[in-house]
Amino acid sequence: MGLAPLPLVNDAGMDLPIQELTPERIAVVFNRIMNTETAARFKVYMNTCVHCGLCSDACHWFLSNDRDPRFSPVGKVKQTLWTLVQKKGRVQPEFIKECSRIAQTECNVCRRCSMYCPFGIDIAYLLLTVRRICSELGVVPQFLQDTVNSHAVTLNQMWVKQDEWIDTLQWQEDDARAEVRNARIPLDKEGADVFYSVIAPEPKILAQLIGNIAQIMAVAKVDWTMPSFDGWDNSNMAMYSGDFETMGRVERSHHDAALRLKSRRIVMGECGHAFRGAVYDGPKWLGWREPPIPLIHAVDFYHELITTGRLKIIKKFSTPVTVQEPCNIIRGRGLGVKLREIIDATCSDFRPPEPDFEHNYCCGAGGGVINCGPNWKASRVKGNSVKAEQLAATGAHIVITPCHNCHSGIEDIISGYKLGMHVKFFSEILMEVIEIPDELQA
Amino acid sequence: MNEIISNLAKSWDWDTPSKNLSDISQWSSNFSEVQELVTSMDGERIASVVRAGDESFTVCVNGEPWSNTFEKAWSLKFSPAGVLFVIAMNEDEWSVFEEDEPWNDTFEYVWNLNFSPNGKIAGVNVRSAEGYGASLNGETWEHKFVQVRSMHISNDGRNSAGSVQMEPLSEGDIVTFKKGIWGLAVNGHPWEQRFLNVWGCAFSGDGTRVAAEVRLKSGSQTIAVDGICWNEQFKAVWEPVFIPGTHEVIAPGLSSKGWQLHINGSPLWNQPFNQVWRQKFGPDGKRLAAVVSPDFGRWSIAVDGTVWKSTFSDVVIEPIFSFDSKHVAAAVKNNNRWTIAVDGVAWNQGFDMAWNPYFSPDGNMVVARIALGKNYFVALDGKLVLGPFEEMWDPIFSPDGESLLVKCVDDSRYFRKILPVKELLKK
Ligand code: SF4
Ligand code: SF4
């Protein structure tokens, strides 16, 4: 194709394991997965694609890399699965590293391309199949694998120990009480209306978000609980690395925790991929058509609290804001209008991004890509210059990001392209605009 | 209710029809904060962590505060034997308080308060300057570990086990992790064998053997008994149980056929399922029931390999046997409504929540705690026979099956009621 070679990135999670691979072993694993884990859906997608390239312009990686066809959705499938299928998996170990690089670090499985393919081919599913093959061969970017190891051991993604988790909740309860009288984080309360779950970066590095929620729950008089035991983390990077067995264990622990506490429903904090794992991929692997008890995302929950008057907005956030619409809850779940409504209810100067709603571009961090670690940060930021242009064009100062991956990914875009903007979770906006009634003032 | 509770119940007061043991609204006047209420199994005591002053908490039992106050207190629990425990902290030192008396040792942190099934032993996981471990009735494991993640106690309370991390691991160190740095410590002594992961854990009935789920490498899991792995490996496994009175182990394993129950690594029930878990033996030690998903998105119970005729869309919690092991009941959720199913037949009425059902001693009746909205009821054989209450705990049959113990908060007052089953059935 006459294209310049891509920069070589060393990664212990790929470079070491491929030394132990042989074409024979790769073929065995590939064929096992083809024969036992893929079916008509895989064949239909592979056989239906007419190689028209209409999906290319949908992908931020393609648009941000000078329209290099290697970054087009169909190009990524061509460079990985087409060859694997053609050679019945009998490929050289170095090829598996290429597959891992393409599928794990250069696709956010955001599914934007599916919306532009005339046949609706789910490229993200095909690239997740590549990830599954790589994972079964032990070839996974180092820091993504480390995150999955953490999930397997602790059932949370950041190696948070059990005592650290509870200690953090108690500390945040103290902080919340300093603002709202008798605010609590009720641990292990049986029969509560809401089982609230978070992702591990909250107790690890963003504990104040839990304190914020304790204040919001107290003001809105929500009957809620959090578990002192495993199952509190709703995130799931194993879903993205291709380690479905660990994914299943993590999801079971999350749903079991809510069932054990006899909660009426689960409300998940602001994270997109976690929502996908808990509502779609995880339950299905375990045998559930739907989550065993209703489960809603924080955006849905805030919408309910605001529209029912349980949270009163007494002033509007006046700094110009725009929004990063998380793929997994907007394109994946249709929460775009609700998100817009709560922004309208709380912010006076909203600058819509273009394109927006389900057509918005991915943050570039999702799909496990940010978890691939520092070695891949440069290519990740380079691979989303369209996002930087899009954000800059809004003229906003703040980007609301109701998702942890979006939050970190947009932070990297802002600093990488020197946009001079800041990111905020929606709960941080809420903390500035809600009424704390006199009787609850600490 | 298991056999142990049923034995304990023989000494409870089954004669006094109703005792109003405390006025909870009074607690709210006396304390600026009253947390979640807990009751003793026999219903004679109700307790809560309460705020004793601006910066201190204590435990209130039947309206009376303990003499000790704490900077923090949580995990308030009655043991099955009726002893009240709380995990509490003063001046950055955590301990367990048992009926207002502290255990001797203090720790940097304490959690996972758990009891032996016979109710005699309380155990916690602990962190101290030397590392992580466990403490049982105040006796702390001698050895410490990099991390401990569970606390299991044998039936008789003599042995304890927890999964432990044997070596430190730095951030991103996938190479050391792959070697296997996790083990199971029994009474503080780790197995020689190490694994990528050790989850779940079960003691044999006599407490001398321990089985756990272990991961050998990615996509390869099995069951280890006293550190020795089954010969067969699976894509995934779930929690093991011992066959009562034996050292044989049963666990679900996932192979290319699907999920199956295995005994010592070989298929026990031939039929593979979409899912199988929470296998449990009846009191006779012979009948075995498990939660299964026979078709995608449908859930049921299989007893000795035979699946109930009815299946449910959302969830089946766990099998509960009658005392004679002949019947099985479970809390189930179908189309977003909870109910109780007995031997495969669901009660007609659906509820907003249903707790585990319990059989009468003769196995002919089933009782369960039910919620409709925020009101709690006693449901007997599918009929709401008592309630609504503001709070309620699981009803318990008397050993002769003639009466029900109902523990409830009604009009802000806590009652312990003994109700003749015959009268309730007339309602
Ligand atoms: S990043 Fe998104 S648009 Fe690009 S190939 Fe992957 S799923 Fe498609
Ligand atoms: S738009 Fe669809 S059919 Fe065309 S190349 Fe892309 S995936 Fe294939």
Do the domain assignments include residue A442?
A: no
ipTM of this complex: 0.97
- B264: which 2 tokens? 């010592």
B125 closest CB neighbour out of A153, A162, A191: A162
Q: Is A184 domain-assigned? A: yes
pLDDT in tens, A281-336: 999 999 999 999 999 999 999 999 999 999 999 999 999 999 999 999 999 999 99
Q: Are A158 and A254 found together in one domain?
A: yes
- Could you tell me if the CB of A113 is within 6 A of ligand 1? yes
Q: Is the pLDDT of residue A1 over 80?
A: no
Ligand 1 contacts CB of residue A109 (under 6 A): yes
Contact A245 B235 (CB under 8 A): yes
Site from A11, A140, A149, A194 to mutate, B interface, most B CB atoms within 10 angstroms: A149
Tokens of B58: 């204590």
Say whether pLDDT at B3 is over 80. no
Whether A277 and A133 map to the same domain: the answer is no
Measured distance CA(A284)–CA(B275) in Å, rounded: 11
Shortest Cα distance from A196 to chain B (angstroms)?
17
The CATH number that applies at residue A36 is: 1.10.1060
Looking at the structure, tell me whether residues A295 and A344 fall in a common domain: no
What is the band of A2 on the pLDDT scale with cuts at 50, 70, 90?
A: low
pLDDT at B5: 77
Which two three-digit tokens encode residue A283?
């339950």
3-state secondary structure of B175: helix
**Local confidence band at A25 (pLDDT 50, 70, 90 cut-offs):** very high
Residue B105 clears pLDDT 90, i.e. is over it: yes
Tell whether A289 and A330 lie within a shared domain.
Answer: no
A154 and A37 belong to one structural domain: no
- My answer on whether A131 and A236 are in the same domain is no
Within a domain: A230: yes
CB B199 within 8 A of CB B185: no
Q: Domain boundary at A106, A140, A174, which?
A: A140
Whether A67 and A39 map to the same domain: the answer is yes
Structure tokens given for A180: 């709202």
3-class DSSP string for chain A: CCCCCCCCCCCHHHHHHHCCCCHHHHHHHHHHHHHHHCCHHHHHHHHHCCCCCCCHHHCHHHHHCCCCHHHCHHHHHHHHHHHHHHCCCCCCHHHHHHHHHHHHHCCCCCCHHHHHCCCCCCHHHHHHHHHHHHHHCCCCCHHHHHHHHHHHHHCCCCCCCHHHHHHHHHHHHHHHHCCECCCCCCECCCCCCEEEEECCHHHHHCCHHHHHHHHHHHHCCCCEEECCCCCCECCCCHHHHCCHHHHHHHHHHHHHHHHHCCCCEEEECCCHHHHHHHHHHHHHHHCCCCCCCCEEEHHHHHHHHHHCCCCCECCCECCCEEECCCHHHHCCCCCHHHHHHHHHHHECCECCCCCCHHHCCCCCCCCCCHHHCHHHHHHHHHCCHHHHHHHHHHCCCEEECCCHHHHHHHHHHHHHCCCCCEEECHHHHHHHHECCCHHHEC
**Closest CA–CA distance from residue B336 to any residue of chain A (Å):** 8
Q: Which two tokens stand for residue B104?
A: 């001797």
Per the domain annotation, does A88 fall within a domain?
yes
For A409-421, the pLDDT digits (tens) are 999 999 999 999 9
**Nearest by CB to A163, which of B74, B127, B165?**
B127
* Rounded distance from Cα A58 to ligand 2 centre (Å): 11
What is the residue range of A265's domain?
147-307
Atom index in ligand 1 nearest the CA of residue A108 equals 1
Closest by Cβ to A13, choosing from B127, B174, B293: B174
Asked if pLDDT for residue A39 goes beyond 90, the answer is no
Substitution candidate for ligand 2 out of A46, A47, A52 with most atoms within 8 A of CB? A52
Q: How far apart are the first and last CA of chain A?
A: 67
CA distance B176 to chain A (A): 11
Torsions phi, psi for A310 (to 5 deg): -70, -25
Residue A316 within any structural domain of the chain: no
A77 C-beta closer than 6 A to ligand 1: no
Q: Which of A140, A170, A201 is the last residue of a domain?
A: A140
A261 found inside a domain:
yes
What would the mean pLDDT of B205-219 be, rounded to a whole number? 96
Find the helix or strand (DSSP H, E) in which B82 lies.
Answer: none
Amino acid identity, residue B245? G
Q: Tell me which DSSP letter residue B243 carries.
A: P
Instruction: Name the average pLDDT for chain A.
Output: 97
pLDDT at B1: 57
pLDDT tens per residue across span B342-356: 999 999 999 999 999
Is residue A165 in some structural domain? yes
Average pLDDT over residues B179-202: 97
Verify whether the Cβ–Cβ distance B174 to A36 is below 8 Å: no
Percent of chain A with pLDDT over 90: 98
CA distance B317 to A208: 35
**Among partner residues A12, A135, A182, which is closest to B33 by beta-carbon distance?**
A182
Answer yes or no: do A73 and A170 share one domain.
no
Last residue within a domain, chosen from A307, A329, A356 = A307
With pLDDT > 70 as the criterion, what percentage of chain A qualifies?
100
Q: What is the identity of the amino acid at A279?
A: V
**Please, what is the angle between helix A23-37 and helix A93-100, to 10°?**
50
Q: What is the pLDDT of residues A389-437, one digit of tens each?
A: 999 999 999 999 999 999 999 999 999 999 999 999 999 999 999 999 9
In a domain, A2, yes or no: no
Instruction: Write down how long chain A is.
Output: 442
Whether residues A189 and A250 fall in one domain: yes
**Is A440's Cβ below 8 Å from some Cβ in B?**
no
Examine the domain organization and report whether A203 and A283 are in the same domain: yes
Q: Name the 3-class secondary structure at B150.
A: coil
Are the Cβ atoms of A163 and B125 closer than 8 angstroms? Answer: yes
Nearest chain A residue (CA) to B371 = A191
**Whole-number pLDDT of residue A364:** 97
Q: What's the confidence (pLDDT) of residue A106? A: 98
The mean pLDDT value of chain B amounts to: 96
Question: Which site among B31, B174, B377 would you substitute to test the A interface, given the most A Cβ atoms closer than 10 Å to its Cβ?
Answer: B174
B101: which residues sit within 8 A by CB, 6+ positions away? Answer: none
Chain A hits for B256, Cβ within 8 Å: 36
How many whole angstroms from A110 Cα to the centroid of ligand 1?
5
Domain count, chain A: 3
Residues A220 and A259 in one domain: yes
Question: Does one domain contain both A185 and A121?
Answer: no
